[in-house]
Amino acid sequence: MAVTSHDVARLAGVSQPTVSRALRGDPRVAAGTRARVENAVAALGYVPSEAGRSLVTRKTKRVAIVVTDLTNPFYPHVISPLHDTLERHGYRMMVFTESSESQVSVEQLVDGSVDGVVLLTSNVGSPLPAELSRRRLPFVYLNRESSLGMGDAAVVDNELGGRMAAQRLIALGHKRIAGIFGPRDTSTGRDREVGFRLALADAGIALPSELTQLGPFEFDTGYRAAGELFALDNPPSAIFCGNDVIAIGAINAALAAGVDIPGDASVIGFDNIPMAAWEVFRLTTVGHDLTKMAQSAAELLIDHMINGESKPPRRVVLEPHLIERSTTSTPP
pLDDT tens figures, 205-243: 999 999 999 999 999 999 999 999 999 999 999 999 999
What pLDDT was estimated at residue 249? Answer: 97
pLDDT digit string (tens) for 38-53? 888 888 777 765 545 4
User: Is the dihedral angle over the CA atoms 98, 148, 215, 120 positive or is it negative?
Assistant: negative
Q: pLDDT-derived band of residue 321, with 50, 70 and 90 as boundaries?
A: very high
Q: pLDDT-derived band of residue 327, with 50, 70 and 90 as boundaries?
A: very high
Helix H or strand E segment including 187: helix 187-202
Q: Is the pLDDT of residue 55 over 60?
A: no
Residue ranges per domain, the chain?
Answer: 5-57, 62-156+289-318, 158-288
Q: Is the pLDDT of residue 57 over 50?
A: no
Asked if 265 contacts 254 with a C-beta cutoff of 8 angstroms, the reply is yes
Same fold, 5-57 and 62-156+289-318: no
For 158-288, CATH number out of 3.40.50.720, 3.40.50.2300, 3.20.20.80, 1.20.140.10 equals: 3.40.50.2300
Helix H or strand E segment including 315: strand 315-318
Bridge partners of residue 277, in order along the sequence: none
CA–CA separation, 159 and 163 (whole Å): 6
CA diameter of the chain: 86
What pLDDT was estimated at residue 105? Answer: 66
CA–CA separation, 184 and 321 (whole Å): 23
Architecture of the 62-156+289-318 domain: 3-Layer(aba) Sandwich (3.40)
Closest CA to 102 of 75, 76, 121, 78: 121
What pLDDT was estimated at residue 127? Answer: 85
Asked if 283 contacts 267 with a C-beta cutoff of 8 angstroms, the reply is yes
pLDDT digit string (tens) for 131-151? 888 888 999 999 999 877 788
Helix H or strand E segment including 156: strand 152-156
Q: Is the pLDDT of residue 274 over 60?
A: yes
CA–CA separation, 22 and 155 (whole Å): 39
Asked if 177 contacts 205 with a C-beta cutoff of 8 angstroms, the reply is yes
- Ramachandran region of residue 156, left (φ > 0), alpha (ψ -120 to 50) or beta? beta
Asked if 285 contacts 272 with a C-beta cutoff of 8 angstroms, the reply is yes
Closest CA to 107 of 86, 138, 128: 128
What pLDDT was estimated at residue 135? Answer: 85
Residue 60 burial (CB count, 10 A): 18
Closest CA to 246 of 212, 221, 278, 277: 221
DSSP 135-171: TT--EEEES---SS--SEEEEE-HHHHHHHHHHHHHH
What pLDDT was estimated at residue 303? Answer: 93
Sheet holding 284-287, edge to edge: 212-214, 177-181, 238-241, 266-271, 284-287, 321-323
Q: Which CATH number describes the domain made up of 5-57?
A: 1.10.260.40
What pLDDT was estimated at residue 26? Answer: 77
pLDDT digit string (tens) for 76-120? 899 999 999 999 998 998 888 876 655 666 777 777 788 999 999
Q: DSSP secondary-structure letter at 264?
A: T
Mean pLDDT of 307-325: 91
